[in-house]
Chain A
Amino acid sequence: MTAGALVVRFVIGGVVVSLFSAIGEVAKPQTFAGIFGAAPSVALATLGLALAHGDTASIAVEARWFAIACVAMLAYCSTCVVLTARMRTAEWHIASGAWLAWLATAAALHAGVRLLAGS
């Protein structure tokens, strides 16, 4: 992948994330606005560019793993709810700490699915 292609992905990813973030800013009430915190921003940017190149077989494989990894996103959000409600530390620290929950869940899912598939 060329540096130019990465710059394009950076710009498109940044724009899409900013767009969904802005929608989250204007949406009310806060629980509804929160929906946009889990918008498919990176997926739209990444899959949009991949679809433009027409590699549908690879995208189907990626989409299957993407669906599995949504459990990790659910774990991330639930960790944020619990930690934000119970801890007084900065939200950024809480969200960063919740990345560990995402990583652990994603790794466990990846290993589990690989094991079940026998590969």
Chain B
Amino acid sequence: MTDVGPPSHVAMRGPSLDLAGLRAPAAWEYALRFVFGGTVAVATTLLGARFGLAIGGMCLAFPSILPASLTLVRRHGGRDRAVDDARGARLGALGLAAFALVVYATVGRMPSPVVLAAATCAWIAVAAGSWFLVERARR
């Protein structure tokens, strides 16, 4: 007897954590992400020093995680999951703007750890909040 559940787009699944996902990428894939992330951080610094604060600031919004993430999701989960990954990243980009605006509004007015903590909270609040709104609209 076949278990026929509701289509995945009908039932809203809340976010959850599955630690087994850490075993999916190979060690070299983690190393690739580390090297890529480090390279982007250094490149951002050098470009800012060479071309000024405007270029340095814009480089902070350079995609440093998604390129490798999309490749690996496609490899381990297929094309549809890669599309979902990129869709989620769009919402993360909205949160990224909130992060930047909070840094702009609070830097120099609050202690540095508070600035970064508030900006990170703004990022996850806007990104996760957008995700809930989009998922609810899709139901």
On A, residues with C-beta under 8 Å from B are 1, 6, 9-18, 20-22, 24-48, 51-52, 54, 56-74, 76-78, 80-81, 84-85, 90-92, 94-96, 98-99, 102, 106, 109-110
CA distance A85 to B93 in the complex (A): 19
Which chain A residue has the least Cβ–Cβ distance from B109? Answer: A56
Do B65 and A24 touch (CB < 8 A)? yes
Residues in B1-54 with C-beta less than 8 Å from chain A: 13, 15-19, 21-22, 24-25, 30, 33-42, 44-46, 48-49, 53-54
- Interchain CB contact under 8 A, B66 and A51: no
- Give B4 Cβ to nearest chain A Cβ, in Å: 20
Q: Assess the A46–B44 pair: CB atoms within 8 A.
A: yes
Partner of A40 from B33, B45, B123 at Cβ < 8 Å: B123
Question: B44: shortest Cβ distance to chain A, in Å?
Answer: 6
In the complex, the chain B residue whose C-beta lies closest to that of A95 is: B67
Interface size on B, residues (CB 8 A): 86
Q: Contact between B61 and A51 (Cβ–Cβ < 8 Å)?
A: no
CB distance from A7 to the nearest CB of B (A): 9
A1, A10, A16, A94, most chain B CB atoms within 10 A = A10
B112–A21 CB distance below 8 A: no
Residues of chain B at the chain A interface (Cβ within 8 Å): 13, 15-19, 21-22, 24-25, 30, 33-42, 44-46, 48-49, 53-71, 73-75, 77, 79, 81-97, 99-101, 103-104, 107-108, 112, 115-116, 119-120, 123-124, 127-128, 131, 134-135
Q: A42-B60, A63-B100, A84-B79 are in contact. Are A26 and B108 (CB under 8 A)?
A: no
| CA of A84 to CA of B136, assembled, Å | 24
**B60's contact among A17, A32, A69, A99, by CB below 8 Å, is which?**
A69
With both beta carbons as reference points, the residue of chain B lying nearest to A91 in the complex is identified as B74
CB distance from B17 to the nearest CB of A (A): 5
Partner of B35 from the list A14, A16, A32 (CB cut-off 8 Å) is A14
Q: Is the CB of B100 within 8 A of A25?
A: no
